[in-house]
Amino acid sequence: MLRAVFREERCKGCGLCVVACPVHIIENNQSKLNEKGYFASGIVEPEKCIACGMCVEACPDLVIEIKEVK
Amino acid sequence: MLRAVFREERCKGCGLCVVACPVHIIENNQSKLNEKGYFASGIVEPEKCIACGMCVEACPDLVIEIKEVK
Amino acid sequence: MAKERLHPKSIQDKVWHYCPGCSHGIVHRIIGEVIDELNIQKSVIGIASVGCSYNNYEYFNFDVIQAAHGRAPAVATGVKRVLPNNVVFTYQGDGDLAAIGTAEIIHVAARGERLTTIFINNAIYGMTSGQMAPTTLPEQITKTTPVGRNTDYHGFPIRISEMLALQEGTAFVERVSTHDVKHIIKAKKAIKKAFMVQQAGLGFSLVEVLSTCPTNWGLTPLESQEWIKDHMIPYYGIGNLKGKDIKV
Amino acid sequence: MAKERLHPKSIQDKVWHYCPGCSHGIVHRIIGEVIDELNIQKSVIGIASVGCSYNNYEYFNFDVIQAAHGRAPAVATGVKRVLPNNVVFTYQGDGDLAAIGTAEIIHVAARGERLTTIFINNAIYGMTSGQMAPTTLPEQITKTTPVGRNTDYHGFPIRISEMLALQEGTAFVERVSTHDVKHIIKAKKAIKKAFMVQQAGLGFSLVEVLSTCPTNWGLTPLESQEWIKDHMIPYYGIGNLKGKDIKV
Amino acid sequence: MQYEIIIAGFGGQGVLSAGRLLVYAGMLEGKHVSWLPSYGPEMRGGTANCHVIISDEEVGSPILNFADIAICMNLPSFDKFETFVRDDGFILCDTSMVSSEKISETKRKVYGIDATTKAIELGNKAFANIFIIGKLLQITKILRPESIEKALYDVLPEKKHYLIPIEMEALKMGLSN
Amino acid sequence: MQYEIIIAGFGGQGVLSAGRLLVYAGMLEGKHVSWLPSYGPEMRGGTANCHVIISDEEVGSPILNFADIAICMNLPSFDKFETFVRDDGFILCDTSMVSSEKISETKRKVYGIDATTKAIELGNKAFANIFIIGKLLQITKILRPESIEKALYDVLPEKKHYLIPIEMEALKMGLSN
Amino acid sequence: MSEKVLMKGNDVIAEACIRAGCLHYFGYPITPQTEISHYLAKRLPELGGTFLQAESEIAAINMVYGASAVGARVMTSSSSPGISLKQEGFSYIAGAELPAVVIDVVRCGPGLGGILPGQCDYFQVTKGGGHGDYRNIVLAPNSVQELYELTVESFNLADKYRMLCMVMADGSMGQMMEAVQFKDKEDITVYDKPWATNGMGNRGHSNFITSVNVNPDELEKTNLRLQAKYRLVEKNEIRYEEINCENADIIVVSYGTTSRIIKNVIKKAKKIGINVGLFRPITLWPYPYEALAKHTDKVKAFLSVELSAGQMIEDVRLAVNGKSNCYFYGRMGGHIPAQQELLDEIIRILKKEDK
Amino acid sequence: MSEKVLMKGNDVIAEACIRAGCLHYFGYPITPQTEISHYLAKRLPELGGTFLQAESEIAAINMVYGASAVGARVMTSSSSPGISLKQEGFSYIAGAELPAVVIDVVRCGPGLGGILPGQCDYFQVTKGGGHGDYRNIVLAPNSVQELYELTVESFNLADKYRMLCMVMADGSMGQMMEAVQFKDKEDITVYDKPWATNGMGNRGHSNFITSVNVNPDELEKTNLRLQAKYRLVEKNEIRYEEINCENADIIVVSYGTTSRIIKNVIKKAKKIGINVGLFRPITLWPYPYEALAKHTDKVKAFLSVELSAGQMIEDVRLAVNGKSNCYFYGRMGGHIPAQQELLDEIIRILKKEDK
Ligand SMILES: Cc1ncc(C[n+]2csc(CCOP(=O)(O)OP(=O)(O)O)c2C)c(N)n1
Ligand SMILES: Cc1ncc(C[n+]2csc(CCOP(=O)(O)OP(=O)(O)O)c2C)c(N)n1
Ligand code: SF4
Ligand code: SF4
Ligand code: SF4
Ligand code: SF4
């Protein structure tokens, strides 16, 4: 299945993917900092992902790839 | 009488006044160099001068004045 | 609609140093993808400039030359005249291109150098921490316009795209925006076309990208997107200015 | 119609060094007369540039500052910001203004500095003995375009007036010519108006004067006049580009 | 007495203002002080640090090659500045950002406070620096809390003064931690 | 033997090419030569001059502070370079441009030829320089007329070669004047 | 004297400029001196002066040229690459004999280099990076207090000699905060400027400002006049500080930031019985050759410590003129030598000299 | 060897450039070196190379930077004010370690100055007019023949060391005509340029050219590498000429145009029993300090003769290091010292030394 995969260590928590997602499954977790000191975003309901790539377009930090996940 | 007066020592003999003069009374004397080494122009029939100032407009070297001559 | 979107080959696997929400990252990704799609990774030569993206050669995975402030178009000219068959582009901010580099960009356009310029217009100097740029909007507050840009005192923003479109050597100019996905996709199309216009040898091509600088605008990334939409686009307009009908 | 025409007060009584038939002299005379007519000899400050007219301060009879090549607009800005009530103008050739000084002239226009620029476009570098200028016409032969300006190789002439008219800070732009008396009289009108626009504080004003350089064109003074008419005017056009309707 | 302190962390953690606050308070107490920030593109998503000197005598060089105290607000800073501390000095770190494992590895004396976690609890991770200052004051008595409060009023722009009571609360929490 | 010559006149009088012709011919005759023009804005409606050295030995400085011969094609040049000539040297001048009054005032030996007048008679004031060269050759025998002719063919662009017979005629007139 | 306040070096420069009566600033942003313009952007328009962000460093220096030509006190500020771009302008200012103040907050080169502190532009500022025989006065403060005082002074010097006066600091001087005490009133000399091209008015004759002269006699005369002026500056304006030089075993020559480290080193060295002297040139041009030369008989060696590959060392050697040994120690890239590092170097040198 | 031909210095430079295999020229007109571009404007396009008149000197040097970055032999030429404008570019070229050739036909300064010959930019070209610790190789020919040979050589040196090599002539060198004899074939070394950013191709990794590094450790390392290279150049590339130095009473140090006058003076002096030596540095950087120093014991004095207010004299003094007296004689504004004038000066100095 094609799905958005977040490389969390690249994320700067800007939140642009959150608003870009047409199915509203991306969230920015305001409680845990990644190693760069940012609150990273991620998909909360992966199974709902339609792999549209909108988040890829929106993300300024190349955090997200759309790829086959088993 | 108002008339064009040539300050010959300023003249570089470019000939622009010659073509500008509506009454065709300016000539460029090709036989005598002025102290700068140019053939200077001058009015050949002063009494025909209508003091229109066309030559003043045309001259790049401020050679000509229109002024009262006795 | 779903298709694989992997890390572009033409982008190295490094975390870049831009601030959260900064458009530089978006445009970098687009450039990487376009170069992959045009299959020119081996021949493209990028010219980095002076601004927050000064070291984009650490991120791009193709040859890059770092140029002095404002001089990327001249450097690119030197490159292209020696290697007319390589694809050459400059990547410049508004301080770099529209202030110190004004003469250089106008003259590559006038000469019709077969070059592409990606012009990041974020209406401010990012790297040096937020001074007025030539493209700063009227009333906009920056470190050097502390009570807002007063056009009577500081002058008017320069419409770079319009000015360059006027040059006969320019083949293609488009102003695009990064404020939402729809426009980001359009931006990519324009950038791709600009490269193709160069490949076709038609003249100079430029894409002006209305971009965010959340850090120096003092806004969140999301607010910054809004600010492009609400302030920059109304002032500058977006769309094609030259070469719309070119088929490449 | 007959009226007295004496040596202008604002011009010193010296023989200038320009070549026979050179338009510099015509424009100098016009400037002197306009300054006399506007009665601003005591307040005007001229900025000389680098080109054949580099030492026009020896001819003008008012205060003049000689500026570095291309930088007259910046120098003028420094002057005008300190002395906003004085009339300040730059006098620049096409090498000076349209090549090395491109950034400076565009930015005074964008800033809307209350300055006037007299731009002598003779399509060539005079002082340095006849190299291509940014305004050199296509096919024109110069020392650095020995087989003629090839737009594909050397680029296209820059239309300075059009580019500067585009800037919002610009109030008045007109392109005039010196190729015959009728046009010389029009040139004077434009120059006078440009000064008056400055006095009215309306913004930047510029007059581009299509001019001869018989020496480096390799033509006689009369042939040079023809060349303006037959080649320069068809390419550049003459007339007002901005501020036609301003009443001053 | 002369304190040489380095304060380091992520760009957004307020390490520069922490330093500024310290020297300002120091000056208010009549001491000789200097403050020198690292500056530049590191600011963009990178790390920042500043060198602070608070002394009874005139300050020589404002640039530190060693410090009595290193305040490390994140892991990279801890790694970088651990060896910067003199043998008789100490490290003060934000334990929300530096793992206890790491801490246990160093030979230097280390104090800790989970400043960022506490700051997030207080509603803004930007308060982390003031927790740390509180802890510093607890350990060293280098400055009086009142001086910090006065410094806050002088240093912050008027429109941010409403935050000072919360900041002082954080300071006290640090002081008593 | 070494000849140091200065040639001076108005911009349009061909003083630079006269010099060029001399050194070219000198080289053809196997001599060491140098030529140095004055350059710059003087060209615009002003005066021009060049320094010429024709020598049997290697040339030291190409710049002259004194000359054996000054060729003055106009009055300002005469005024300027009169004192430039060594006591045992001479001045050669265009008597159409320098009055005999002036000439009588100098202590230097002076030769004259009314080159410009003659040139105008021949149809072009630009021939004045070749008259002068003829005169120079007559006085000094520094170079052979044939070398000048050969130099003319080498120096002038092809499309001006048709002028060479007239120039040689002028040269001969100078030589025999 | 007013109270001590804590300020950043760059802010102090800006404040000093205002206090010196300079109300016109033209500049272009560059790290590490941008705060100067932020400060002035706020204050100068309030005071009825000019703050103008130019389109480039070149435009800025030429705006300064224009403003100075009409008689204003005027300044610009920049850092290394920006200073390189202004070289033509500096040469014009010298040729036209205009007063102007330039602040140079030096970073690391060459090229875009880095933004950390450097002293690697010593040659550029002292020997003339531009073309032609000209000189600029160069002041090198080493504290925020001195930044203030010398910046004010630079305007007086510029006006007095009608020449460019540069204040050379480095990134850390500009960025550091330290206490500074402002005077209640500055010592400002107001100079008549009859040469200013500020409009002919009733002057009766036109003025002009120029640096060109195609007549060699006249251009040589201009140059001789400039040289005479420079000799006068050399006579009147040399400044330096000596610490512990009287009985020193070795004299360290150092200016700006590095000289402060030496102050610490002197203390450290004393503890181990070494007498280190500090000779600190405050004017880098004119250079205090004679004052430095006075020590040649008494010390074992001289050591030039710089944030460079070795530049001022040439002036030290010119001063010492073979009468003693001269050594160099430098760091580059933004690194600052540590006290111990310098002390070790001093010990090494003294050992060598004692052999 | 082909036949001798009579050519203008500037034309010879242009021809030498082509012979050295440099097919790319970017420049901006300025007197007294415009003929270089006239020549190349005709020839380079015929040869399939590039002649491009840039919009400014700054654009030109940055075009050179770009062309060099992709591996081409490339040059520009200019004169004093134009060279000042290129200083930032020079510093970038040094920092990025790019080979490039720059011809500087020096005129008189400061400012717009005059267009007559000068040597008043010696400091600028030898001490680095730009920012940062860097050096350019500087060659100073004194004949049209040498203009040719050294111009060709400059391209080899630039490529060999990956640095900027400058040929410094003056207005009269560029304008004079003299016989020159071209080689049938030039000694051109072709250097591999694996660092060139000429497109990744099948290289397998991307290249980049840069002069920036914000990491002080790395930037210091870059600077140390540059310095090591400069030491190597100092070791390998010093050139000079000595005439009559062996038994000289006084050694005149002089380069370029003025050194030719000294040749005449030597002959003149011999006639009145004075033995004058000429020490002519051909590389102005690296400067032949040691070679010059070898003479300190034997002569009564050194005299630096320059078309300046006294610049190279500092290098002479650094070389002599107090072991002999150093004098200076200079002219400015385009004036060239006359032989007698110099001889008189020499007599004056010798009289003083004999006392
Ligand atoms: C010659 C020179 N002048 C100034 C600078 C300082 N400087 C660095 S980046 C920059 C401008 C950055 O603004 P912009 O081009 O808009 O890019 P951004 O940082 O916003 O991406 C300036 C002025 C420099 N490095 N070199
Ligand atoms: C920095 C610099 N570059 C180049 C020059 C040489 N230069 C003198 S005048 C000139 C251009 C003259 O052309 P233009 O401006 O068209 O004026 P014109 O002589 O035709 O009146 C140039 C390039 C210079 N003096 N300074
Ligand atoms: S857009 Fe990218 S960087 Fe921003 S929150 Fe989403 S994944 Fe993180
Ligand atoms: S226009 Fe003037 S310069 Fe020309 S010929 Fe007539 S008078 Fe003489
Ligand atoms: S300062 Fe602005 S332009 Fe620079 S990285 Fe940050 S957001 Fe982007
Ligand atoms: S060279 Fe041309 S522009 Fe210059 S004075 Fe002569 S004709 Fe006029």
Domains of chain F listed by start with CATH number: 2-176 (3.40.920.10)
CB C214 within 8 Å of CB C179: no
Within 8 A of D62 by CB-CB distance, chain G residues are 199-200, 206
Collapse the DSSP code of D186 into the 3-class scheme (helix H, G, I; strand E, B; otherwise coil) and give the result.
helix
Picking from G55, G62, G96, the nearest residue to D78 by CB comes out as: G62
Average pLDDT over residues G139-162: 98
CATH number listed for the domain at residues C24-242: 3.40.50.970
For residue D175, which of D227, D113, D242, D104 has the smallest C-alpha distance?
D242
Cα distances (Å, whole numbers) of residue G97 to D46, G60, G71: 18, 18, 12
Judged by a CB distance cut-off of 8 A, whether residue G50 touches chain E is no
**Which chain A residue shows the shortest CA-CA distance from C1?**
A52
For ligand 2, is residue D215 a contact (CB within 6 Å)?
no
Our answer on whether D and E touch (3+ beta-carbon pairs < 8 Å) is: no
Q: Are G106 and G117 in contact (CB under 8 A)?
A: yes
Determine the number of helices (DSSP H) and then strands (DSSP E) in chain E: 7, 6
Nearest CA to F133 out of F81, F73, F84 is that of F73
Residue H279 near residue H253 (C-beta atoms within 8 A): yes
Query: In this structure, are residues D77 and D44 in contact, taking their beta carbons and an 8 Å threshold?
Result: no
How confident is the model over H301-325, as pLDDT tens digits?
Answer: 999 999 999 999 999 999 999 999 9
**List of residues 6+ apart from D124 with CB closer than 8 A:** D94, D130, D131, D132, D133, D136, D140, D142, D213, D216, D217
The answer to whether G283 and G138 have CB atoms below 8 angstroms apart is yes
C235 in reach of chain D (CB within 8 A): no
pLDDT, tens digit, 9 for 90 and up, residues G41-85: 999 999 999 999 999 999 999 999 999 999 999 999 999 999 999
D213 lines ligand 6 (CB under 6 A): yes
Helix H, strand E, coil C: the string for E128-164 is: HHHHHHHHHHHHHCCCCHHHHHHHHHHHCCHHHHHHH
Cα(C23) to centroid(ligand 5), Å: 8
Look up residue C198 and give its two tokens.
């160069």
Q: What is the pLDDT of residue E40?
A: 64
**Are G318 and G326 within 8 A, CB to CB?**
no
Share of chain C above pLDDT 90, in %: 99
What does the block give as tokens for C11?
A: 């982008």
| Phi-psi sector, G49: left (phi>0), alpha (psi -120 to 50), beta | beta
Assign F99 a pLDDT band (cuts: 50, 70, 90).
confident
* Token output for B28: 């460029």
Give the nearest chain C residue to D162 (CA atoms).
Answer: C166
Q: Say if H116 is an interface residue toward chain F (CB within 8 Å).
A: yes
Chains that touch A (3 or more CB pairs under 8 A): C, E
Cβ contacts of B28 on chain D, cutoff 8 Å: none
CA of D123 to the centre of ligand 6 (A): 11
Q: How confident is the model at residue E147 (pLDDT cuts 50, 70, 90)?
A: very high
Query: At G1, is the pLDDT very low, low, confident or very high (cuts 50, 70, 90)?
Result: low
H or E stretch at H139: strand H137-139
- Count other Cβ atoms within 10 Å, centred on residue G293: 15
D160 lines ligand 6 (CB under 6 A): no
pLDDT digits (tens, 9 = 90+) for G229-260: 999 999 999 999 999 999 999 999 999 999 99
Which residues fall within 8 angstroms of residue G231, CB to CB, at 6 or more apart? none
- With tokens 């490529």, the residue in question is H159
**C-alpha of residue C27 to centroid of ligand 5, in Å:** 13
Q: Express each pLDDT in D213-244 by its tens digit.
A: 999 999 999 999 999 999 999 999 999 999 99
Average pLDDT score over chain F: 91
**Rounded to whole angstroms, how far apart are CA atoms C187 and C144?**
30
Q: At what angle do helices H57-69 and C72-82 cross, to 10 degrees?
A: 50
In terms of CA atoms, which chain D residue is nearest residue H51?
Answer: D144
- What separation in angstroms does the CA of H251 have from each of H47, H140, H284? 46, 19, 17
Predicted confidence at residue H86, as pLDDT, reads: 98
Q: What pLDDT sits at residue E46?
A: 67
Chain F contact residues (CB < 8 Å to G): 40-42
Whether pLDDT at D128 is above 90 = yes
For H213-232, the pLDDT digits (tens) are 999 999 999 999 999 999 99
- pLDDT tens digits, D191-217: 999 999 999 999 999 999 999 999 999
Q: Find out whether the beta carbon of C26 lies less than 6 Å from any atom of ligand 5.
A: no
Tell me: pLDDT of F79 over 70: yes
- The C-alpha of E3 sits at a distance from chain C's nearest C-alpha, in angstroms, of 31
Instruction: Give the range among D41-50, E37-46, G186-195, H309-318 with minimum mean pLDDT.
Output: E37-46
- The pLDDT tens digits of the residues spanning D78-123 come to 999 999 999 999 999 999 999 999 999 999 999 999 999 999 999 9
CB contacts < 8 Å between C and D, how many?
A: 75
- pLDDT for residue E42 is more than 60: no
Count of residues in chain E: 177
- Which chains does chain E touch, 3 or more C-beta pairs < 8 A? A, C, G, H
Q: How far is the CA of B41 from the centre of ligand 4 (A)?
A: 6
Quick check: C160 and D172 in contact, CB under 8 A?
A: no
Q: What's the pLDDT score for residue E11?
A: 76
Residue D167's nearest CA partner among D119, D206, D210, D122 is D206
**Domains annotated on chain G, with CATH:** 5-236 (3.40.50.970), 241-354 (3.40.50.920)
Is CATH 3.30.70.3270 correct for A2-68? Answer: yes
Nearest CA residue ID for atom 8, ligand 4: B11
pLDDT at F32: 95
Contact between G131 and H308 using a beta-carbon 8 Å cutoff? no
Beta pairing class for F2-10 and F47-55: antiparallel
CB C92 within 8 A of CB C134: no
One-letter amino acid identity for D160?
Answer: I
pLDDT at F13: 85
Strands C45-48 and F32-37, bridge-based pairing? unpaired
Does the beta-carbon distance from C20 to A13 stay under 8 Å?
yes
For B9, other C-beta atoms within 10 Å of its C-beta total: 12
Question: Where in chain C are the domains?
Answer: 24-242
Q: Is the pTM of this model over 0.80?
A: yes
DSSP assignment, residue G168? E
C24 CB within 6 A, ligand 5: yes
**C86 to chain D, closest Cα gap in Å:** 17
The per-residue pLDDT for H298 is 93
Rounded to whole angstroms, what are the CA distances from D132 to C83, D77, D105, H3, H36? 24, 28, 20, 34, 14
Q: Encode pLDDT of H52-80 as tens digits.
A: 999 999 999 999 999 999 999 999 999 99
**Cα H86 to middle of ligand 1, angstroms:** 19
Q: Are strands G301-306 and G250-253 parallel, antiparallel or unpaired?
A: parallel
Taking a C-beta distance cutoff of 8 angstroms, is the pair H109, H118 a contact? yes
The stretch G137-151 carries a mean pLDDT of 98
pLDDT band for E44, please (50, 70, 90 cuts). low
Q: Is the minimum distance from the CB of H292 to ligand 2 under 6 angstroms?
A: no
Subunits close to D (at least 3 CB pairs below 8 A): B, C, F, G, H
Q: How many helices (H) and strands (E) in chain F?
A: 7, 6
CB contacts of G68 in chain D (<8 Å) are: 78
> Phi/psi at D98 (nearest 5 deg)?
-95, -10
CA H247 → CA H72, H281, H282, distances in Å? 47, 19, 22
CA distance C243 to C185: 19
Per the model's pLDDT, the better-predicted residue between D52 and B34 turns out to be D52
Q: What is the mean pLDDT of chain C?
A: 97
Nearest-Cα residue of chain C relative to residue G52:
C154
In this prediction, residue A33 has a pLDDT band, given cuts at 50, 70 and 90, of: confident
- Nearby residues of F129 by Cβ (< 8 Å), 6 or more positions away: F9, F13, F14, F15, F17, F18, F73, F115
Q: Count other C-beta atoms under 10 Å from residue D214's C-beta.
A: 24
C41 contacts H59? CB cut-off 8 A = no
Higher pLDDT, F124 or D186: D186
User: Can you give the pLDDT at residue D180?
Assistant: 98
Q: Chain C contacts of D134, Cβ < 8 Å?
A: 107, 110
Using CB atoms within 10 Å of the CB of residue D3, give its burial: 0 to 12 exposed, 13 to 18 middle, 19+ buried: exposed
Q: Where are chain B's structural domains?
A: 2-68
Ligand 4 atom with minimal separation from the B6 CA: 7
Could you tell me if D11 lies within 8 Å of chain G, comparing CB atoms?
no
The three-point CA angle E69-E74-E76 to 5° equals: 90
Q: Is there a contact between F12 and G186 (Cβ–Cβ < 8 Å)?
A: no
The rounded average pLDDT for each run of 10 residues, N- to C-terminus, in chain B (70 residues) is 95 97 94 83 95 98 95
Q: Is the pLDDT of residue A31 over 80?
A: no
- So what's the pLDDT on residue E99? 87
Mean pLDDT of C31-40: 98
Let me know: does D35 contact D59? Beta carbons within 8 Å: no
Q: Hey, whose CA ends up nearest to atom 7 of ligand 5? A: C213
Reported confidence tier of residue H1, pLDDT bands at 50, 70, 90: low
What local confidence, expressed as pLDDT, does residue B37 receive?
80
| Residue D222: partners with Cβ closer than 8 Å, 6 or more residues away | B14, B15, B16, B19, D21
Q: What is the mean pLDDT of residues H103-113?
A: 97
- What is the largest distance, in Å, between two alpha-carbon atoms of chain F? 44
Q: Given this model, what pLDDT does residue G336 score?
A: 93
Q: Provide CB contacts within 8 A for G61, sequence distance 6+.
A: G26, G76, G86, G89, G90, G93, G102
pLDDT at position G197 over 60: yes
User: Looking at CA atoms only, how far is residue E92 from chain A in angstroms?
Assistant: 18
Per-residue pLDDT band for E43 (boundaries 50, 70, 90) equals low
pLDDT score, position G3: 83
- DSSP-derived 3-state class of residue H342: helix
Inter-chain contact D166–C169, Cβ cutoff 8 Å?
Answer: no
3-state secondary structure of G145: helix
Q: How confident is the model at residue A47 (pLDDT cuts 50, 70, 90)?
A: very high
A13 Cα nearest atom in ligand 3: 5
Asked if residue A30 has pLDDT above 90, the reply is no
β pairing state of E85-94 and H114-117: unpaired
Tell me how far the alpha carbon of residue C219 lies from the centroid of ligand 3, in angstroms: 16
Q: Is A21 in the pocket of ligand 3 (CB under 6 A)?
A: no
